[in-house]
Structure 1
Amino acid sequence: MFGKIKSYSIEENKVFFVFEENVGRIEVINPWVINIFSPLKYNDHYSRAIENLELQPGSFTVEEKNCCVEIRTETLIVRVCDNFKVNFYDKNGTKLCEDYEFTREPFIRRGYGNILEEEGHKSEKNSDSHKIEIIKRLYGDEKFYGLGDKTGHLNKRGYSYEMWNTDDPSPHVESYKSLYKSIPFFITLRENCVFGIFFDNTYKSYFDMGKENENYYYFGADDGNLDYYFIGGNNIRDILLSYTNLTGKTPLPQIWTLGYQQSRWGYAPESRVKEIAEEIRKKDIPCDVIHLDIDYMDKYKVFTWDKSRFPDEKKTLSELKQDGFKVVTIIDPGVKKETGYEIYDRGLENKYFATDKDGLTYVNKVWPGDAVFPDFSQIKARTWWADNQKLMLEAGVAGIWNDMNEPASFNGPLPDDVQFENEGRNTNHREIHNVYGHLMSKATYEGIKKYSSKRPFVITRAAYAGTQKYSTVWTGDNQSFWEHLRMSVPMLLNLGLSGFSFCGTDVGGFSFDCTGELLSRWVQIGCFTPLFRNHSCAHTRDQEPWAFDEETLSINRKYIKLRYRLLPYLYDLMWNGENTGLPVMRPLVLHYEHDNNVKEINDEFLFGENILVAPILEQGKNFRAVYLPEGQWIDYWTKEKYKGKQIVLKEAPIDICPIYIKQGSIIPNYPDQNYIGEIKVKELILDIYEGNGIYSHYLDDGESFNYKNGEYSLYEFKKVSNAEEVIQIRKVHTGFEGYETFKVIFNKIAVNEVLFNDKKVEFTQGSNSIEFIIPAVEGTIIIR
């Protein structure tokens, strides 16, 4: 495809190469991030993921060495050889990532696949070759993480996947190559190094992580440019920071979006919605959101209401709001083909819909019957779609749930030759398919922001790299299976390692019938999942917390209330993630990557850095082995202390999810409340554990963008544990009204005296802790 190097030249931060058969270039984005590019379709980048590329190349040198051209940055060595083979080393020459010198050699598959298929088996086939293929050498010590919410284990070594957004409602299993999202980014962890690769290509792409041959892994695509980013760093956190600097970070959401959310297909008519709302409050279950699925619409026409079911939607939503409920409504991309329906008429008049190859509006079938599809690849169509969000906001809707935006259709998938304007670069469905949901989310986000001036709450099923800037995501139509509960943990963890911090699953499972035990164990994970939504399918049994028995209701209430207590900690994690790219749910390997015991752990996770969660994922199980990494850990329920780097056996009856707190942690809590905003929180609860630690707590109005102008407060709590416990409280930034008092829960019982700013403080003794209240001012706590 390329041949030998004929010449090269340097222009600013780019090194251009002329080969015998093609051209390519290496671009130094910064000393750690290198772009490898060849204009096989477009002359320059045409990225939907990277919108504001910041260049900080620093100093670098270029020279010829041993038939290669060597580029040295401050941290990396990049060697470009014939056939555009590109190898990466650290600044000392240690091998990080090298192109494979040979062609692909898939292992032999013996027997006759067609005979298997006659009986109904699916016959696994080796992948065909692709227009673009980058083959990388395997050294044998690689662990692969990321690639979004693909099925399978946390470590993707030995798996192969396709990036082609796919709506497949059948039960998802480990052999699934495609789901709803295409996030072509992965992190490679080796014994002595770590790096990331982002393959920015929206065509159908392929990732074989050593499945077809243990000598190499590869990624490739059917069309588009050769365009990938090599991301170096000292640890996984560095890689995530650089990757999210490229594609964008999950923004700080409104705090109510982190509360519990109740959903079903579907809550209609309005009497059913009110019944659900009344039952939630009567059962003492904190809840902020009720979702409306497609049933609320008039004949499934987007941006409409069925007046027989919701005769006065503004009044209904206003009444729900008074009782503390926000309403989030589903919106699909398919627009009903119906003359006289304003959304259809306006879109047709302005040519906002995708067309067939002859220029006629393309028609397929979705929920409303014959439907047309907005061309989100054109700016005018996105602006129009953004303006339509005003219709929902005026009705009192607080957030928008984008579904069916792979796009899904009932009369077969959209053909490859469906045409899109693509902002002046006319193209077909092959290029737009994987970013269709991404562009829809972007339009939705911009519309809500424009007409509400609040941080938009958008949920999307389909996504591409960078969608995290605009939308939260969930893993799609799962099932009420124990296996799907188990699989949800690595799926969410890999989403987090792919830049998507604000993510979740349908708690309890969408299809099939849930059981009380399964919901009880699922809500224990949901408590620590950024998007915490119970959602189920039409014609399944009821799945609300009270739909089973008193024990199930009690367990749901227990963990939903725990979630509300932990909201300030979760909000801090979201604020921190907007700056660092770090997710909320974290695999243990993110913080302990040199511990070989954690690299394959699929059934535990960290909630931030301070809380370790080891859920029960099997039916009938009431105990489990828990691996605790280095340091000291405290059982959240019993306050027992354990040394790290060992496995402990934890009894976990149906109401207990094993939770451990890192030594020295300071965990902010809120008092009990039925919904965010029910009370004005004037007292922050500080749950403090023995040991050294430092914690920053963030506070703002919870909904606007004013924090970007400095309207926030930031507290720092620094704890030193020696002969006495010393906690220093500092206000790092004061731009928003703060708390009046701090309620301190110190998890130690052998306490004789408490001082704050040299004055004695009265404290009460509990079974495992002491409690006391101090003013929320700067100062020093001494506990003796």
Structure 2
Amino acid sequence: MLGKRLDYQVEENKIHFFFEKEEAFLEVITESIMNVFVPYETKGHRSKAIEGEKAVRTDFEVKDCGSYVSVATKQLEARVYDGFYVDFYRDGKSICEDYRSGRILRPLLSEKSLEVLKAEGHDVSAGASGSYPVQTVKKMDGDEKFYGLGDKTGFLNKRDYEYENWNSDIPQAHTDSYRALYKSIPFLITLKKESVYGIFFDNTYRSYVNLGKENQAYFYYGADAGNLDYYFIAGDTMPDIVGGYTYLTGRTPLPQLWTLGYHQSRWGYDSADCIKKVAGKYRELDIPCDTMHFDIDYMDGYRVFTWNEKDYGDPAGTIQELADEGFKAVCIIDPGVKLDPGYEKYDEGIAGDYFAKTPEGEVYVNAVWPGDSVYPDFGQPKVRKWWAENQKFLTDIGVAGVWNDMNEPASFHGELPSDVVFTDEDQKSTHAAMHNVYGHLMSKATYEGLKEQTGKRPFVITRACYAGSQKYTTVWTGDNQSLWSHLQMAVPQLCNLGLSGLAFAGTDVGGFGADCTAELLCRWVQVGAFSPLFRNHSSNGSIYQEPWQFGEKTVDIYRKFVELRYRLLPYLYDLFAECEKTGLPIMRPLVLHYEKDENTWNLNDEFLVGEHLVVAPVLEQGQTKKMVYLPEGIWYDFNTGKRYEGKQYYLVDAPLDTCPMFAKAGSMIPAYEVMQYVGEKPYDTLNMLVFPGEGTYVHYQDNGSDFAYQDGAYNEYTFTQQENGEVTMKMGKEGYDKPYKKIEYIFVGK
């Protein structure tokens, strides 16, 4: 790698190493986090994911041990060898070592073989891969399980798969073999028999992760360019690792309460009348709904920050009509600005030099929905400010949230060339470097604009993002399909997004593309009801998939689970309050809290909601029974109260209207009265669902809207249950002036 070590210097928290071929750095960030850095391209980090100084004063010891230099805190030791090989230890035991022997590359296919494969239509893009300009290879001991990496397809445990981090607009049906999707979150949790650790590879170029597929002796991370810049995160448990990663990259902030309600959307609601009819039908059928989404047709010729008055009427009037019935409006905004002299936003961008350019200095043009379009250069602070100010067009007419789409960035005339000129804050850059953070920076600008103009907690949705985007936006998994395999994939996909810091995430309930069925929709709403973002969305050209399209039975089942969602709103809100403090997601794989239990390592069809609820949805067509694994402890059926001993499997009944759910012994779950939308009536009464066993639960309450909670305007209620079933409540914090008028206890189970 870098040759022999010549010298080193300790510079505050950094140890500066001098090798024959290159300089390198090891920085102590905290007692359990260290940064490994080789400045191949820039001297500094220039991170988009990490904002502010994260290194804190930490006691550590540096010792020259001859063949290596030891850098040790109370929690973590790094041993730095010649070549800048870095091994990590805890309590004197190795937990992660660099692989010394070199990668064993797959042989190249001959030109003849490639031509034959291409002729028959095979994808040959995953051919042999050589060593990358930026690369780190880690030894595998054989017992590794891998989690995280954002929205990658496939199963919960990523062992034996390979992936790329390159935000990609892929409308085809996503399968297990897809290496890249819409998001690039290069964060990996490695679970071993005796240890657990995380690595965050902070490099925005196209990068590659191979988790034992190339060779069972190692896993690797490589990138096309940039610095070698990764953070090693140690801890005792998986929650420690998630906490360390979100300490670095930021945590999902507390959202407005209405955003946790049910959302309805479709690309194909092509007029205001259509949207109002759908909204009215939800009220007629008493299916709770908070939000109607406006897809691209509401714009005038797909020009961003305009309104199609011909089909959608007066914008403020249309949105007010929905508001009168309790609906919020969320509007889509794409980054592509129509090339149209005389169109205000295009003219402003040209005058302000806001758009990406060719290497020759011309404004770069591709095509998206408006036709020929240009791309805002969000790496420029002045462009983000301009984009933030443009949100005023939406907020002035009453729009409550913004849905950012097509921001990989997508393009209809081939991918943007790698040498298109963008900006990285104060210096010129390229599409190759800025592609993966384009959606991140667009979301940041949108968030800041909404916050400035409304004073409320912004609701932003994005399709494309990077590590750290959770500070600004919720996400959905993009253009899924109405396929049972995509319902099955939703559980591990959302769980891994949560482990990757993106706690506010969801899939399109029912599937976006293709045609849904009644049974598939009934099973999907049973997953959606527990997903942080709960939205039914479908594509133009597919059959409509509002529940009433499938008959009365489907309506009744759909209503049942949407109502369950609204009952559980205070529990979900509590989990978001916890997430802002700890980084722990709302929807969690069982392995997060039961990592020593090998039955959880590859559990793809169940999940936890917080620590207190196990949800085991049916994900197979025609299935009316479910094999459920319950981890250690005592569990109670959420609906019947039946008692179960943990650490074993059960075959339970699961007819179409039933989703198996289990509460842990001692759980106390807060619930509200069902309303048709958040704010229909005041939440004066809190119901506590109490399950047998000792336990403590802290419930959080604030105004559900603005940032007053950051100044102490919130209440905390601490509930304690004794073994004999006696429950007491004590106010731990009284800062919100509308406490509950009544708290009722509902005892479930024996």
Q: TM-score interval w.r.t. the shorter chain?
A: over 0.9
Which amino acid is the alignment partner of residue 14 of structure 1? K
In structure 2, C-alpha distance between the alignment counterparts of 1:365 and 1:227, rounded to whole Å: 35
**Is 2:455 the partner of 1:456?**
no
Tell me the equivalent position of 1:761. none
Tell me the equivalent position of 2:103. 104
Deviation at 1:650, TM superposition (A): 0.8
TM-score by length of 2: 0.98
In structure 1, C-alpha distance between the alignment counterparts of 2:696 and 2:118, rounded to whole Å: 60
In structure 1, C-alpha distance between the alignment counterparts of 2:142 and 2:352, rounded to whole Å: 56
Tell me the equivalent position of 1:415. 417
Quick check: 2:106–2:129 contact (8 Å CA) kept in 1? no
What is the CA deviation profile of residues 739-773 of structure 1, one whole-angstrom value per residue up to 9, with x for unaligned ones? Answer: 01112111257xxxxxxxxxxxxxxxxxxxxxxxx
SS in structure 1 of the partner of residue 309 of structure 2: coil
TM-score by length of 1: 0.94
Which amino acid is the alignment partner of residue 65 of structure 1? C
In structure 1, C-alpha distance between the alignment counterparts of 2:353 and 2:82, rounded to whole Å: 47
- Inter-CA distance 523–748: structure 2 relative to 1 (3 Å threshold): closer
Tell me the equivalent position of 1:758. none
Quick check: 1:510–1:537 contact (8 Å CA) kept in 2? yes
Tell me the equivalent position of 1:39. 39
Deviation at 1:178, TM superposition (A): 0.5
Deviation at 1:570, TM superposition (A): 0.2
In structure 1, C-alpha distance between the alignment counterparts of 2:476 and 2:689, rounded to whole Å: 31
Deviation at 1:639, TM superposition (A): 1.5
Tell me the equivalent position of 1:198. 200
Which amino acid is the alignment partner of residue 604 of structure 2? N
Tell me the equivalent position of 2:94. 95
Tell me the equivalent position of 1:667. 669
Quick check: 2:15–2:25 contact (8 Å CA) kept in 1? yes
SS in structure 2 of the partner of residue 547 of structure 1: helix
In structure 1, C-alpha distance between the alignment counterparts of 2:656 and 2:268, rounded to whole Å: 29
Aligned pairs for 1:357-436 (under 5 A) are: 357-436=359-438
In structure 2, C-alpha distance between the alignment counterparts of 1:616 and 1:436, rounded to whole Å: 37
Deviation at 1:119, TM superposition (A): 1.2
SS in structure 1 of the partner of residue 574 of structure 2: helix
**Is 2:742 the partner of 1:746?**
no
**Is 2:74 the partner of 1:74?**
yes
SS in structure 2 of the partner of residue 171 of structure 1: coil
SS in structure 1 of the partner of residue 550 of structure 2: coil
Aligned pairs for 1:558-569 (under 5 A) are: 558-569=560-571
SS in structure 1 of the partner of residue 732 of structure 2: strand
Q: Where does structure 2 lack aligned partners over 5 or more consecutive residues?
A: none
Deviation at 1:311, TM superposition (A): 2.3
Which amino acid is the alignment partner of residue 453 of structure 1? G
In structure 1, C-alpha distance between the alignment counterparts of 2:95 and 2:417, rounded to whole Å: 41
Quick check: 1:126–1:212 contact (8 Å CA) kept in 2? no
Quick check: 2:366–2:372 contact (8 Å CA) kept in 1? yes
Which amino acid is the alignment partner of residue 99 of structure 2? Y
In structure 2, C-alpha distance between the alignment counterparts of 1:487 and 1:332, rounded to whole Å: 27
Deviation at 1:122, TM superposition (A): 2.4
Alpha-carbon RMSD? 1.1
1:290 pairs with one of 281, 292, 295? 292
Tell me the equivalent position of 2:522. 520
Which amino acid is the alignment partner of residue 104 of structure 1? R
Which amino acid is the alignment partner of residue 102 of structure 1? S
Tell me the equivalent position of 1:767. none
What is the CA deviation profile of residues 14-63 of structure 1, one whole-angstrom value per residue up to 9, with x for unaligned ones? Answer: 10011001000100001100000011111111100000232224111111
What is the CA deviation profile of residues 398-422 of structure 1, one whole-angstrom value per residue up to 9, with x for unaligned ones? Answer: 0000000000010111111110122
In structure 1, C-alpha distance between the alignment counterparts of 2:434 and 2:21, rounded to whole Å: 28
Quick check: 1:31–1:57 contact (8 Å CA) kept in 2? no
In structure 2, C-alpha distance between the alignment counterparts of 1:303 and 1:489, rounded to whole Å: 35
Quick check: 1:266–1:292 contact (8 Å CA) kept in 2? no
Which amino acid is the alignment partner of residue 16 of structure 2? F
What is the CA deviation profile of residues 210-269 of structure 1, one whole-angstrom value per residue up to 9, with x for unaligned ones? Answer: 110000000011111110000000101111111101000000000000000000003221
Of 440-449 and 353-362, the range deviating more from structure 2: 353-362
In structure 1, C-alpha distance between the alignment counterparts of 2:109 and 2:381, rounded to whole Å: 51
In structure 2, C-alpha distance between the alignment counterparts of 1:624 and 1:683, rounded to whole Å: 35
In structure 1, C-alpha distance between the alignment counterparts of 2:156 and 2:116, rounded to whole Å: 33
SS in structure 1 of the partner of residue 8 of structure 2: strand
In structure 2, C-alpha distance between the alignment counterparts of 1:115 and 1:660, rounded to whole Å: 54
Deviation at 1:425, TM superposition (A): 1.7
SS in structure 2 of the partner of residue 539 of structure 1: coil
In structure 1, C-alpha distance between the alignment counterparts of 2:537 and 2:97, rounded to whole Å: 45
Tell me the equivalent position of 1:632. 634
Quick check: 2:105–2:130 contact (8 Å CA) kept in 1? no
Aligned pairs for 1:207-606 (under 5 A) are: 207-606=209-608
In structure 2, C-alpha distance between the alignment counterparts of 1:24 and 1:642, rounded to whole Å: 55
Which amino acid is the alignment partner of residue 497 of structure 1? L
Tell me the equivalent position of 1:118. 119
In structure 2, C-alpha distance between the alignment counterparts of 1:121 and 1:267, rounded to whole Å: 37
In structure 1, C-alpha distance between the alignment counterparts of 2:281 and 2:414, rounded to whole Å: 41
Quick check: 1:184–1:199 contact (8 Å CA) kept in 2? yes
Deviation at 1:156, TM superposition (A): 0.6
Quick check: 2:636–2:749 contact (8 Å CA) kept in 1? no
Which amino acid is the alignment partner of residue 44 of structure 1? G
Quick check: 1:53–1:246 contact (8 Å CA) kept in 2? no
In structure 1, C-alpha distance between the alignment counterparts of 2:38 and 2:264, rounded to whole Å: 48
Which amino acid is the alignment partner of residue 364 of structure 1? N
Tell me the equivalent position of 1:24. 24
The runs of at least 4 consecutive aligned structure 1 residues that moved more than 6 Å come to none
Tell me the equivalent position of 1:187. 189
In structure 2, C-alpha distance between the alignment counterparts of 1:270 and 1:552, rounded to whole Å: 26
Deviation at 1:549, TM superposition (A): 1.1
SS in structure 2 of the partner of residue 345 of structure 1: helix
In structure 1, C-alpha distance between the alignment counterparts of 2:115 and 2:85, rounded to whole Å: 38
In structure 1, C-alpha distance between the alignment counterparts of 2:331 and 2:32, rounded to whole Å: 42
Of 311-320 and 582-591, the range deviating more from structure 2: 311-320
In structure 2, C-alpha distance between the alignment counterparts of 1:217 and 1:109, rounded to whole Å: 20
Tell me the equivalent position of 1:777. none
Of 12-21 and 46-55, the range deviating more from structure 2: 46-55
Quick check: 2:86–2:98 contact (8 Å CA) kept in 1? yes
Which amino acid is the alignment partner of residue 748 of structure 2? N
In structure 1, C-alpha distance between the alignment counterparts of 2:130 and 2:353, rounded to whole Å: 38
Which amino acid is the alignment partner of residue 511 of structure 2? G
Of 645-654 and 64-73, the range deviating more from structure 2: 64-73
Quick check: 2:156–2:496 contact (8 Å CA) kept in 1? yes
Deviation at 1:106, TM superposition (A): 3.2
SS in structure 1 of the partner of residue 722 of structure 2: strand
In structure 2, C-alpha distance between the alignment counterparts of 1:153 and 1:720, rounded to whole Å: 40
In structure 1, C-alpha distance between the alignment counterparts of 2:190 and 2:615, rounded to whole Å: 25
In structure 2, C-alpha distance between the alignment counterparts of 1:109 and 1:480, rounded to whole Å: 37
Tell me the equivalent position of 1:132. 134
In structure 1, C-alpha distance between the alignment counterparts of 2:145 and 2:266, rounded to whole Å: 38
SS in structure 1 of the partner of residue 220 of structure 2: strand
**Is 2:171 the partner of 1:169?**
yes
Which amino acid is the alignment partner of residue 199 of structure 2? I
SS in structure 2 of the partner of residue 600 of structure 1: coil
Quick check: 2:196–2:238 contact (8 Å CA) kept in 1? yes
SS in structure 2 of the partner of residue 725 of structure 1: coil
Quick check: 1:479–1:512 contact (8 Å CA) kept in 2? yes
What is the CA deviation profile of residues 635-678 of structure 1, one whole-angstrom value per residue up to 9, with x for unaligned ones? Answer: 12221100000000011111111111111110000001000000
In structure 2, C-alpha distance between the alignment counterparts of 1:388 and 1:632, rounded to whole Å: 53
Quick check: 1:8–1:16 contact (8 Å CA) kept in 2? yes
In structure 1, C-alpha distance between the alignment counterparts of 2:608 and 2:44, rounded to whole Å: 40
Q: Where does structure 1 lack aligned partners over 5 or more consecutive residues?
A: 750-784
Tell me the equivalent position of 1:769. none
Which amino acid is the alignment partner of residue 55 of structure 2? L
Deviation at 1:128, TM superposition (A): 2.6
Deviation at 1:307, TM superposition (A): 1.2
Deviation at 1:113, TM superposition (A): 4.7
Percent identity, please. Answer: 54
Which amino acid is the alignment partner of residue 5 of structure 1? R
Tell me the equivalent position of 2:58. 58
Which amino acid is the alignment partner of residue 625 of structure 1? M
Count of residue pairs brought into register by the alignment: 746
Deviation at 1:108, TM superposition (A): 5.7
**Is 2:660 the partner of 1:653?**
no
